[in-house]
A and B are shown apart, each in its own frame.
Chain A
Amino acid sequence: MNSYYYNLLESSGATFAVGNVHANQPWKGFVMPSQDAKGPSEQARRLSRRSILRGAATAGAAGLAVTAIGSAASPAFAATAPAQSHSAPQAAGPIMVHVRDAKSGDIEVFSGTSKTRLRDKDLAARIARAMG
């Protein structure tokens, strides 16, 4: 072997297994997102217009990213959001809304490791008014 490669000053030392190591344990429960999730997950499919509004209404827990909005001003968004239903499914983590084009109602909603794309002029207009 070339001396520069095997001329060691220090070895990497002893080997220990630290942590909970297990092999071939079937994936269960633990959400490890795929590299390139293309289709909406079950969680995304559950994201309805109403749930988006609820997410935006509870802005302390939900991220709300809005771009390309119209110029219309309106009362505060939260004040116009419908009351939350106790039976509605709850998304884990923040829900982020990206209004790509308020005029056409082109909206992206991000939650967990999913994205869903909506076309809803009324919702886009309400968000735009909320940002007034």
Chain B
Amino acid sequence: MSSHREAPEISKDPVADSTDVYAFVSPDKPDTVTLIANYIPLQEPAGGPNFYEFGDDVLYSIHIDNNGDGYADISYEFRFSTQVLDENTFLYNTGPIEAIDSPYFNRRQFYDLTVVSGHSQHTIGTNLACPPCNIGPLSTPNYSFVAGQAIHKLHNGITVFAGQRAEGFYVDLGSIFDLGDLRPFEALHNTFGLPVKLSAAPGVNDTNDLNVHSIAIQVPISAVTRKGHPSIGVWTTASRQSATVWDADNGQNVSSGPWRQVSRLGNPLVNEVINPLGKKDLWNTLPPSDDKRFAEYVAHPGLAALLPTLYPGVFPNLAALVKAGTARADLEAILLTGIPTGIVPGFTNYTGPVLADMLRLNTSIPPTAKPNILGLIGGDAAGFPNGRRVFDDVVTVEIRAIAGATYALVDKTYTPDAAAGEVTDGLTPSDVSSPYLDVFPYLGVPYSGYYTPDATPPAPPAF
């Protein structure tokens, strides 16, 4: 997955587990950027009676580095609080929630938004309401309307939303973590001597029909960039207080002490499949400025060494590259510095020499009228790895890059294997049942508990 349950420790703490980060110039408001951080992975929509919610004891942040040093210059910090109207019922809602301030919305969340820049902090929104989870036609009969009421327009051109959305990241988890057995290429996969016959098959979107919790903020580009430096680095973190004690008398955790980072996410899949198992938990506690310590795993990714074994004879040029111990300067540029001028004609999102895993976005590149889900390698400079749009096929892009498709950008003598330009898990945005929106917050309407996993729900009952 992009970063769902990607490290041993954070996989035990889903409320603080970041799953995806998106950063893109807003297609409908191109003088703004939209930043989205998703948390709480793999939500089964019918997961009542205690539906999913943000952690009141978690500090969620979206960070921006606009001078290339790997440290946050601007952070948007979100703190949530939960309110229960009637504690003498087991119900999340005591009737239909037809508006965000419905008295039937029994367990609700609010949040404060603080902007931290240098030593200054400004709280720019307090008691901002979250929408309910999408429960079903009787509990949340007009979900989109209620969710729309949770889009808050603040001053200074900032718009913000925090709440449940449909998972927009599509991936064939079942095949990828079955020893990289990508279904469209199964016929080429190593069977390890097992008595199985593998044949090509379409990909399966394992995250379809699941929800996440999104923190989305849309801000003017001028508010997050320095003059003459349009490229920014974006990442999210979740932090918990250092000390926690289970207060058995009250049946709850009690926390104290300074906030300490427990989850981090910039580029998709870095902590998932680049960093080794023994370093993932450590990586989650550190800022991007420390990523020099992990650069060797980007320069010599384990997956690149595995592919020739998993697909015998399919990646001979990649195998030679790995055998020669060649450092992958292409991956370092894509993931750790941004792509310098001169690599891809007319394009750069380079932020400087500091090796830091950040999602880099050149905000001077306008949205594409006809997006290509393969982003930059598909000739669309407005897409990943120039930021990341909600529909970008980051799995295919990164598999192809690791397979050597992008190494020729930095070494003109290298010929990528033919398979490097074809390999994929076989999915597209059409495999996401809840369509993306063309307006903020861009991720689709969350799947309803009542109608899911039925892929073809009947029409809602008439009222």
Contact = CB atoms under 8 A, between A and B. Distances in A.
Given A23-B155, A94-B254, A13 B144 contact: yes
Given A25-B122, A96-B243, A112 B256 contact: yes
A4 B429 contact: yes
Nearest to B389: A5
Contacts of B120: 27
Nearest to B154: A21
B257 interface: yes
B129 A18 contact: yes
Contacts of B260: 36
Interface in B123-148: 123-129, 143-148
A39 to B, nearest CB: 10
Given A26-B122, A110-B256, A19 B154 contact: no
A33 B258 CA distance: 8
A12 B153 CA distance: 14
Nearest to B27: A1
B19 interface: no
Contacts of A32: 77, 79, 112, 114, 121, 123
B254 A12 contact: no
Given A1-B370, A14-B148, A96-B245, A19 B254 contact: no
Interface residues of B, number: 71
B439 interface: yes
A75 B453 CA distance: 60
A20 B148 contact: no
B396 interface: no
A24 B243 contact: no
B430 interface: yes
Contact of A21 (B116, B152, B245): B152
Contacts of B254: 63, 94
25 contacts: A1-B438, A2-B370, A13-B144, A14-B148, A18-B127, A18-B129, A20-B126, A21-B124, A21-B126, A23-B124, A23-B154, A25-B124, A27-B114, A27-B122, A30-B112, A33-B59, A33-B259, A35-B116, A35-B239, A35-B259, A38-B258, A63-B245, A63-B247, A112-B257, A114-B258
Interface of B: 27, 59, 61, 72, 75, 77, 79, 100-101, 110, 112, 114, 116, 120-129, 143-156, 158-159, 237, 239, 241-243, 245, 247, 254, 256-261, 287, 369-371, 373, 391, 428-430, 434-441, 445
Interface of A: 1-2, 4-27, 30, 32-38, 63-65, 93-96, 98, 108, 110-115
Given A2-B373, A5-B435, A63-B254, 17 more contacts: A1-B371, A10-B144, A12-B440, A13-B147, A15-B152, A16-B100, A17-B153, A19-B126, A21-B124, A23-B154, A33-B258, A34-B259, A64-B245, A94-B254, A110-B241, A110-B243, A113-B259
A-B pairs with lowest CB-CB distance, top 5: A13-B148, A23-B155, A110-B257, A19-B127, A110-B243
